[in-house]
Amino acid sequence: MHDVQPQKSYATFGLARSIRQLKHVWESRRQIDTDMPTLLGLVQESEQRIQRQLGRKVEQLQMLEIGPGQGLERARYFGRKNTVTGMDLDVIPVGFDMSSYLHMLQENGPGRVVKSIGRRMLIGEAHDTAWASLLGVETFNNPKLIHGNICGETPNVGPFDVVMSWSVFEHLPNPRQAVENVLKLLKPGGVFYISLHLYTSNNGHHDIRAFTGDEDSLPLWGHLRPSTEEMFAPSAYLNQWRLSQWRQLFAEMAPDHQEILEAFESYERFAPRMTPQLRDELAEYADEELYTINVVYTGRKPIA
Ligand SMILES: C[S@@+](CC[C@H](N)C(=O)[O-])C[C@H]1O[C@@H](n2cnc3c(N)ncnc32)[C@H](O)[C@@H]1O
């Protein structure tokens, strides 16, 4: 595992790994009709939480999404009623835009280009069509995309009413710098909404097998156990932060924040397989660290 995030891209792209991922992308096209409505439900839930923090509807706002990734689902969802900017370490091409792919080649390397073009060709159109239909739009209001590092110098954009992010902060080498930037990028009274995938969850290791249909064949919490940790290879840089570290960071930087633990169905799935011997091996981890999948931190920047 790297100690610092690779400069060009947060993910790693060996040939075997890329082929496995593209094969899974191809197979997942059959699930678009169930996956996309599930995602819509999750995005709507996030919107309601942001709305509660703001005390008003999420409309006519300046919003920044950190690390929107290739799918742009959330940025396009919020883009219907707001002005959205997306900032990502990777170059994000929209459609088949050759100049973006050349820029991506320079900035993120050939592995990233192959994966992006592959994904675009295999399911890009079906994915976009399904999302547009669910959102009830014919064309998307795409975000303004900027290429940048949230752990670097504060980007010269904003200020924003909302800064939001999903599945990015677990990949950052310097979460403190990132939260500092988030607070600087917000208007006074603005809301942050940061959802992260917890390292100590069963698939927090980001081994590609867990995201391509084989999670149940891997040893439970195997990356946390000395007897099995060698079997795992993360597909992206991970800071490996524990729940206590996130809690400490947000307690210091935004004392009035709210924490939401999302376990989804992991108690039902994994608790029946937790033997006394396994619990002993994982003795240093509390249940909430093992069964929580995502942690959300949300709050407001003080007005004065
Ligand atoms: C796991 S993907 C999540 C994509 C999307 N948010 C989602 O939930 O589907 C992580 C994204 O964060 C971006 N990222 C990683 N490190 C970053 C950094 N330091 N600054 C900005 N973006 C970063 C990656 O390029 C990638 O697009």
The three-state DSSP-derived secondary structure of 29-78 is: HHHHHHHHHHHHHHHHHHHHHHHHHHCCCCCCCEEEEECCCCCCHHHHHH
Give the per-residue pLDDT at 2.
41
Does 88 contact ligand 1 (Cβ within 6 A)?
yes
> Nearest-CA neighbor of 221 among 295, 281, 288?
281
Residue 218: which of 230, 160, 242 has the closest Cα? 230
Q: Which H or E run includes 106?
A: helix 98-108
CA 252 – ligand 1 centroid, Å: 24
Rounded CA-CA distance 216/257 in Å is 35
> How far apart are the CA of 251 and the centre of ligand 1, in A?
24
pLDDT for 9 beyond 70: no
The pLDDT of residue 206 is above 70: yes
Please compute the mean of the pLDDT values over residues 5-18 and round it to a whole number. Answer: 64
Question: How deeply is 133 buried, as exposed, middle or buried, from its count of CB atoms within 10 A (0-12, 13-18, 19+)?
Answer: exposed
- Residue 90's pLDDT is 87
Q: What is the DSSP letter of 252?
A: H
Residue with the smallest CA separation from ligand 1 atom 15 is 10
Give the number of other Cβ atoms within 10 Å of residue 92's Cβ: 24
Evaluate: CB of 177 within 6 angstroms of ligand 1.
no
Q: Which atom of ligand 1 is nearest to the CA of 69?
A: 27
Count of helix runs (H) and strand runs (E) in the chain: 11, 7
DSSP character at residue 273: G
Q: Is the pLDDT of residue 1 over 50?
A: no
Q: What is the DSSP letter of 207?
A: B
**What's the pLDDT at 182?**
98
- pLDDT for 104 equals 75
Q: Which atom of ligand 1 is nearest to the CA of 152?
A: 19
Average pLDDT of the chain, as a whole number = 91
Give yes or no for residue 237 having a pLDDT over 70: yes
Q: How confident is the model at residue 134 (pLDDT cuts 50, 70, 90)?
A: very high
β-pair type (83-88, 144-147): parallel
Q: Is 170 in the pocket of ligand 1 (CB under 6 A)?
A: no
Q: Whose CA is nearest to atom 4 of ligand 1?
A: 69
Res 172 pLDDT > 80:
yes
Ligand 1 in reach of 66 Cβ (< 6 A): yes
